[in-house]
Amino acid sequence: MDPEQARRTLETERERGLAEIAAAGTLAELDQARVRLLGRRSPWSEVQRSLGSLPPEARRELGRLANEVKDELERALEQRRAELQERAED
């Protein structure tokens, strides 16, 4: 995977992921979204695996971006999980 393709994949996954997380209506749907977004066979993981084959400068930049995307998606997952749990308790 070339650096530009990796960047596009990460940005696409960020947008798609945030939308999918927001659309999850149950905890089960949210767990399925988590696997699709950050699981071993996800596009995000594919980018992570390809980092080693990139030039050092691109590796640093894309590694930083990959971590940003993962952190943002994990925060959104936690927030949505709290919302769904609160709704289930009501």
Q: Domain limits of the chain?
A: 3-89
Give how far the C-alpha of residue 79 lies from the chain's centroid of Cα atoms, to the nearest Å: 14
CB atoms within 10 A of CB 19: 11
With tokens 């590796």, the residue in question is: 59
Q: How far apart are CA 33 and CA 18, in angstroms?
A: 10
Model pLDDT for residues 34-48, shown as the tens digit of each residue: 999 999 999 999 999
Which residue type does 7 have? R
CB atoms within 10 A of CB 70: 19
Mind listing the pLDDT tens digit of every residue in the chain (90 residues)?
A: 899 999 999 999 999 999 999 999 999 999 999 999 999 999 999 999 999 999 999 999 999 999 999 999 999 999 999 999 998 887
Reported pTM: 0.91
